Amino acid sequence: MEFKHEKSRIFLNNEEGKTIAEVTFPETSDNTVDINHTFVDGSLRGQGVADKLLSELAQELKSKNKKAVATCSYAVGWFEKHPEYEDLLK
């Protein structure tokens, strides 16, 4: 599973080009993003795709030395379950 990266979005498309999984994180300030949306198509549910999306985002934030505010309910819960990434939260 290879995610694609855009400026404020990490996503996965199917063969037809339709987005089947994504996390969006628009910048709110120079060094902070708002993780505001996580989506996984029903065809992928139960496979840990949302967890992989957030892990991928966490690595990107670390590599770019950015902080995050989580307003998406999935992201809030994900950070609670992954205290090793607590340093990424503002």
Report the predicted TM-score, pTM, of the whole model to 2 decimal places: 0.93
Q: List, for residues 53-82, the tens digit of each pLDDT value.
A: 999 999 999 999 999 999 999 999 999 999
The two tokens of residue 71 are 């307003």
Helix and strand numbers, DSSP H then E, in the chain: 2, 7
Q: Rounded to the nearest 5°, which phi and psi values hold at 41?
A: -60, 150
Superfamily, domain 4-9+32-88? Gcn5-related N-acetyltransferase (GNAT) (3.40.630.30)
Residue 8 is given by DSSP the state: T
Q: Edge-to-edge, what's the strand order for the sheet holding 27-29?
A: 27-29, 32-35, 67-70
